[in-house]
Amino acid sequence: MYHPCYSEYTMPKIIKEKSIFKSRLFNIKQAQIEFNHQILEYEIISGTGQGAVIIVPIIDDEIIFIREYAAAVDDYMITLPKGKIDKGEELIETANRELQEEVGFKSDNIKLINKIYLAPGYIDHITYVMLATNLTPSYLQGDEPEDLEIVRVKSNDATTFLSKEPIIDSRVFAAIHYVKNYDK
């Protein structure tokens, strides 16, 4: 039932949760959730880590995009530097590591802009949107199985560029939107 104000909602209660499948990257859980005295079954996909970062690197008024293979769609996609947060790692540390591994730069000015959820109705994975400026060349060996194609696009041309690409990581749209509307 629709309520015009959150304060009128009664928060559902998770009664029981159990793992029904676990892989290296995901844990699928079955959950029983009580809504107004009615118990419903849900399946929730959880990441096995601490989430991920996606970084919007800007140098000389250009955004650095990446074209890389996406196994789930068996094709190449446009994305931004990104990666999982390793255990014990801070967001800025993760962002700087991923920048160096994926695009060959590091930054002394990385800011958390916002966070996004892929599909919060059934996936609890969180991605932190980071803005990186003041980039300088620096390289770390990453875990990619092939060289990534670096695509530099003028900030003002990003929307046009993305409109012409057939496959785009959906987080890119949110990240670019947040950065363009970020109150610096």
The verdict on residue 63 lying in a domain is: yes
Residue 139 within a domain: yes
Does 5 have pLDDT greater than 50? yes
User: In which domain, by residue range, is 59 found?
Assistant: 52-180
CATH of the domain at 61: 3.90.79.10
Q: According to the model, what pLDDT value does residue 100 have?
A: 98
Q: What share of the chain is helix, strand, coil (3-state, %, to 5)?
A: 20, 50, 35
Q: Give per-residue pLDDT as tens, 49-77.
A: 899 999 999 999 999 999 999 999 999 99
Q: Measuring CA to CA, which residue among 150, 141, 154, 145 is closest to residue 67? A: 150
My answer on whether 56 and 147 are in the same domain is: yes
Return the pLDDT at 143. 87
- 43 plus 70 within the same structural domain: no
pLDDT single digits (tens) 129-170 = 999 999 999 999 998 889 899 999 999 999 999 999 999 999
Residue 1 lies in a domain: no
Number of structural domains in the chain:
2
Confidence of residue 3 (pLDDT cuts 50, 70, 90): low
Q: 162: which DSSP letter?
A: H
pTM of the model: 0.90
DSSP characters for 92-116? HHHHHHHHHHHTSEEEEEEEEEEEE
Q: Residue 52: which H helix or E strand, with range?
A: strand 52-59
pLDDT in tens, 121-136: 999 999 999 999 999 9
Q: What is the pLDDT of residues 108-119, one digit of tens each?
A: 999 999 999 999
